[in-house]
Amino acid sequence: MTDDRSSTPADEQRSDPTASGDTEPIDAGDEHETGDAEFTIADFHDASQREGRPVLTAAAVSRALEMPHEEATERLEALADRGELQRHAVSTDPVIWYPSELEDLTDRERVVVFPKRREIVVDRPAQFTRAQLSQFAHLADGNGEQGYRYVVRPEDVWGTPHDTFDELVRTMRQALGQRSDQLEDWVESQWDRAHQFRLTTHEDGYTVLEAQSPEIMGNVARQKLDEEHVHAPISETEDWVREGAEAAIKRILYEAGYPVQDHRELESGEELPIDLRVSLRDYQRTWVDRFTEAGEGVFVGPPGSGKTVAATGAMAHVEGETLVLVPSRDLAQQWADTIVEYTSLEPHQIGQYHGGRKEVRPVTIATYQIAGMDRHRSLFDDREWGLVIFDECQHVPSDVYRRSTHLQSKHRLGLSASPIREDDRQTEIFTLVGPPIGTDWEALFDAGHVAEPELEIRYVPWGDDEQANAYGSADGREKYRIAARNRGKIDEVRYLLSAHPDAKAIVFVDYLEQGRDLSEALDVPFLSGETPYHERRRLLEEFRRDERDLLLISRVGDEGIDLPTADLAIVASGLGGSRRQGTQRAGRTMRPAGGALVYVLATRGTREEDFARKQLQHLGRKGMTVRERTVEHDAD
Ligand SMILES: Nc1ncnc2c1ncn2[C@@H]1O[C@H](COP(=O)(O)OP(=O)(O)OP(=O)(O)O)[C@@H](O)[C@H]1O
């Protein structure tokens, strides 16, 4: 059962071809499933596409698919015998071949599988195919001319919603329209890994770790775990788990490449009847169903896709007292408003717990900051929580993680707008909160649930020689800082605002000095960490009520402040943070209101330009349209 070829998540990250910038053309043909026995109509379609014609001779097929002429003829005949191809013989010319359903060629989605790279490329996928694919793969590239590129990683297999491997294979075959033995074998090995261990609840109430076989128990669990985690063996395949050690066990085994199935009976906490006052969208219902089945999980969707609303659906399912952890006070207020708007709960049942207020009520919304403090640790135990929600769970600070390990017996739900898995947070999220539950973002854009922003990166020249010279002689981070604060960006911001006179706009900056300069030049208030909380709230409120149409925000704006009606965002600096920040900033304006535009400014010919380009390629892969423009001195 143990498969040495399978890798741990860490290995996988290193060998992930997308991570190493592998940009090999997808049509390279090196891995086409043209194995000896298999020659399918899809191969014929490949050949027609390469030849640019729907009707082919055997010679053309042999050329396109690089196989001997004789072999091509043989295979074409076999396909014709199966009724998938038609032949047409013209007395003096070679026989020509075409698909039995010629219209296929224009309508049908083409699926090409690259089993070694575990990639699937689909042309014009139908909604159904996308939904199927997203159950075992994730969309890595949705914007290229090469079609949609899906990648299957171990975590994708580990998190599938299927009960049996056979069901999973059925979904795969439906999605791919073909069998790929090599891919299926690999998926099976990952499936096996994820089904070696499970946590269950003994009838006497304690937790048991069960292994599929005595060998896996002996060779993996009992090597990795010690008395800190388990009391004593119950049998060759079962260990009695120490209370509170569940999270550590899940983490250790996950890191060893054996994610643990969590089948414990979860506590539902003190009862709290909740009715929903909104009808969930189909994809939200799927999210909630998957959460319901597992009792844990992370909703992953772009900003504005309705994760918070779907979370109220999860609350209505658990119907237990709920603790919501959020990154900022502003978000705490928004959660309280959303819960009142979309559920039958009354305002007096909802408490907020942060620097400003200390209310613990049946539904309590607390900030991570407070939740991480020793003197507020009782928050976790004050009531019998049945559900703990981690909003923006990619930001959960490590002290909160440490503190929340004992929440393993509750239902756990994470929300995240950043499906980026480039750091080890992924392990923590997966083991402490749960596996990702996602939808392919493109599908949400297509269905009109989230407006796709137009994203434009503008390369701006230096505003004056002084800064350009300073850049030349600076080094390292200083170079980046100078480029970020290029005074030429002030004119550019002005130009963009004047080009969109009716837009409600937000300008993001990363440097206080730049924010102050812009604030003065544009005569708008600047919201930074230095702005008092009530002042920040007031400005945001005014913006929300359409009493203001321009805001200038520093990093502070990044942590979950909701600006629902912004329809223009200018990132004047600050793409230099993490990818995630870039995603969030761009996402800030992705609201159902639609028509959002995002401009990102980068100083021409500097590191900032390189950086922005990389970031935006990433956003492009997430399904946004990205455009680049070089600004001449007279803003165009
Ligand atoms: N099922 C639904 N029916 C009607 N409106 C909905 C539904 N789901 C979401 N919305 C609306 O879509 C908007 C965004 O929803 P929500 O705040 O839940 O998104 P989100 O993904 O949590 O966003 P963010 O990542 O910014 O927190 C809200 O205005 C909400 O009212």
Quick one: tokens of 124?
Answer: 């014009």
Atom of ligand 1 nearest to the CA of 280: 1
Q: How far is the CA of 558 from the centre of ligand 1 (A)?
A: 18
CATH class, domain 454-630, is alpha beta
Pocket probe mutation, ligand 1, options 280, 283, 308, 390, max atoms within 8 Å of Cβ: 308
| Residue nearest atom 15 of ligand 1, based on CA coordinates | 306
| Residue nearest atom 14 of ligand 1, based on CA coordinates | 304
Question: Using CB atoms within 10 A of its CB, is residue 48 exposed (0-12), middle (13-18) or buried (19+)?
Answer: buried
Tell me the pLDDT band of 369, cut-offs 50, 70 and 90.
confident
Q: For residues 160 and 333, which has the higher predicted lDDT (pLDDT)?
A: 333
CB 419 within 8 A of CB 438: yes
Atom of ligand 1 nearest to the CA of 305: 21
Q: How far is the CA of 349 from the centre of ligand 1 (A)?
A: 22
pLDDT number for residue 626:
67
Q: How far is the CA of 449 from the centre of ligand 1 (A)?
A: 9
Decide if pLDDT at 319 tops 90. yes
Handedness of CA 599, 600, 601, 606 (dihedral sign): negative
The region, left, alpha or beta by phi > 0 then psi within -120 to 50, assigned to residue 281 is beta
- How many Å apart are CA 62 and CA 326, to the nearest integer? 60
- How many Å apart are CA 359 and CA 376, to the nearest integer? 12
| Residue nearest atom 7 of ligand 1, based on CA coordinates | 306
| Residue nearest atom 16 of ligand 1, based on CA coordinates | 306
| Residue nearest atom 18 of ligand 1, based on CA coordinates | 306
Report the 3 state secondary structure along 218-266: HHHHHHHCCCCCEEEEEECCEEEECCCCHHHHHHHHHHCCCCCEECCCC
**Segments in 65-213 forming alpha helices (H):** 69-81, 104-107, 127-133, 154-158, 165-176, 181-193
Q: For residues 130 and 515, which has the higher predicted lDDT (pLDDT)?
A: 515
Radius of gyration of the chain (CA): 27
Which one, of 54, 16, 183, 46, lies nearest residue 112 by Cα?
Answer: 46
Atom of ligand 1 nearest to the CA of 299: 21
Output the average pLDDT for the chain: 79
Domain residue spans of the chain: 32-112, 196-262, 282-440, 454-630
Q: How far is the CA of 492 from the centre of ligand 1 (A)?
A: 33
Q: How far is the CA of 335 from the centre of ligand 1 (A)?
A: 11
Residue type at 632? E
Place of tokens 């209310």: 359
| Residue nearest atom 23 of ligand 1, based on CA coordinates | 304
Q: How far is the CA of 565 from the centre of ligand 1 (A)?
A: 13
pLDDT number for residue 275:
94
Exposure string for 254-286, b = 16+ CB within 10 A, e = fewer: bbbbbbbbbebebbbbeebebebebebbebbeb
Tell me the pLDDT band of 378, cut-offs 50, 70 and 90.
confident
Quick one: tokens of 158?
Answer: 């580990």
Among 4-8, 21-25, 504-508, 596-600, the range scoring the smallest mean pLDDT is: 21-25
CB 572 within 8 A of CB 493: yes
Return all residues near 504 (Cβ < 8 A) that are at least 6 apart: 543, 546, 549, 550, 565, 566, 567, 568
Ligand 1, residues at Cβ distance < 6 Å: 278, 280-281, 284, 301, 303-309, 417, 562, 592
Atom of ligand 1 nearest to the CA of 281: 1
Q: How far is the CA of 303 from the centre of ligand 1 (A)?
A: 8
Atom of ligand 1 nearest to the CA of 341: 31
Atom of ligand 1 nearest to the CA of 311: 18
CB 571 within 8 A of CB 593: no
Q: Which residues pair with 602 in a beta bridge?
A: 459
Q: Which residues pair with 149 in a beta bridge?
A: 121, 141
| Residue nearest atom 24 of ligand 1, based on CA coordinates | 303
Q: How far is the CA of 341 from the centre of ligand 1 (A)?
A: 12
Q: How far is the CA of 574 from the centre of ligand 1 (A)?
A: 26
Is 282-440 in the same CATH topology as 32-112? no
- How many Å apart are CA 450 and CA 305, to the nearest integer? 6
- How many Å apart are CA 16 and CA 117, to the nearest integer? 8
Q: How far is the CA of 434 from the centre of ligand 1 (A)?
A: 22
Please report, for residues 159, 211, 239, 317, 564, the alpha-carbon distance to residue 208 in angstroms, rounded to integers and kept in the order given.
21, 10, 6, 26, 46
At 205-216, the pLDDT tens digits run 899 999 999 999
Range 422-435 average pLDDT: 72
Q: Is 499 helix (H, G, I), strand (E, B) or coil?
A: helix
Range 1-24 average pLDDT: 35
Quick one: tokens of 347?
Answer: 């305002």
Pocket probe mutation, ligand 1, options 276, 283, 305, 309, max atoms within 8 Å of Cβ: 309
At 473-494, the pLDDT tens digits run 988 778 888 998 899 999 999 9
- How many Å apart are CA 116 and CA 280, to the nearest integer? 39
CATH architecture of 282-440: 3-Layer(aba) Sandwich (3.40)
Range 616-634 average pLDDT: 64
- How many Å apart are CA 295 and CA 265, to the nearest integer? 9
The region, left, alpha or beta by phi > 0 then psi within -120 to 50, assigned to residue 459 is beta
Query: Beta 387-390 vs 411-416: how paired, if at all?
Result: parallel
Residue ranges with strand state E in 461-509: 505-508
CB 258 within 8 A of CB 193: yes
Range 114-139 average pLDDT: 81
| Residue nearest atom 6 of ligand 1, based on CA coordinates | 306
Atom of ligand 1 nearest to the CA of 588: 26
* Nearest 10 degrees: Cα torsion 484, 488, 491, 496: -50
Complex ipTM value: 0.97
Decide if pLDDT at 74 tops 70. yes
Query: For residue 276, what is the DSSP state?
Result: B
Atom of ligand 1 nearest to the CA of 279: 1
Report the 3 state secondary structure along 512-537: HHHHHHHHHHHCCCEECCCCCHHHHH
CATH class, domain 32-112, is mainly alpha
| Residue nearest atom 1 of ligand 1, based on CA coordinates | 280
Q: State phi, psi for 458 to the nearest 5 degrees.
A: -115, 120
How many CB atoms lie under 10 A from the CB of residue 469? 12
User: Over pLDDT 90: what percentage of the chain?
Assistant: 27
Q: Is 25 helix (H, G, I), strand (E, B) or coil?
A: coil
Decide if pLDDT at 518 tops 70. yes
pLDDT number for residue 69:
85
Which one, of 611, 600, 631, lies nearest residue 479 by Cα?
Answer: 611
Q: How far is the CA of 251 from the centre of ligand 1 (A)?
A: 32
Q: How far is the CA of 276 from the centre of ligand 1 (A)?
A: 14
Range 311-337 average pLDDT: 93
Q: How far is the CA of 83 from the centre of ligand 1 (A)?
A: 49
Q: Which residues pair with 460 in a beta bridge?
A: 603
Decide if pLDDT at 582 tops 60. no
| Residue nearest atom 26 of ligand 1, based on CA coordinates | 303
pLDDT number for residue 544:
83
Tell me the pLDDT band of 15, cut-offs 50, 70 and 90.
very low
Decide if pLDDT at 26 tops 50. no
CB 554 within 8 A of CB 484: no
Quick one: tokens of 32?
Answer: 């086409």
How many angstroms from the chain centroid is the CA of residue 242? 34
- How many Å apart are CA 586 and CA 575, to the nearest integer? 10
CB 343 within 8 A of CB 274: yes
- How many Å apart are CA 385 and CA 380, to the nearest integer? 8
- How many Å apart are CA 40 and CA 264, to the nearest integer? 45
| Residue nearest atom 8 of ligand 1, based on CA coordinates | 306
Q: For residues 347 and 530, which has the higher predicted lDDT (pLDDT)?
A: 347
| Residue nearest atom 2 of ligand 1, based on CA coordinates | 280
Q: How far is the CA of 306 from the centre of ligand 1 (A)?
A: 3
Range 211-234 average pLDDT: 91
Report the 3 state secondary structure along 330-381: HHHHHHHHHHHHHECCCHHHEEEECCCCECCCCEEEEEHHHHCCHHHHHHHC
Q: How far is the CA of 152 from the centre of ligand 1 (A)?
A: 29
Among 159-163, 338-342, 494-498, the range scoring the smallest mean pLDDT is: 159-163
Quick one: tokens of 488?
Answer: 């030429």
| Residue nearest atom 11 of ligand 1, based on CA coordinates | 306
Among 175-179, 341-345, 562-566, the range scoring the smallest mean pLDDT is: 562-566
Report the 3 state secondary structure along 393-445: HHHCCHHHHHHHHHHHHEEEEEEECCCCCCCCHHHHHHHHHCCEEECCHHHHH
Angle CA 199–202–207, to nearest 5:
45
Q: How far is the CA of 97 from the centre of ligand 1 (A)?
A: 51
pTM over 0.90: no
Range 213-234 average pLDDT: 91
Atom of ligand 1 nearest to the CA of 309: 18
Q: How far is the CA of 310 from the centre of ligand 1 (A)?
A: 8
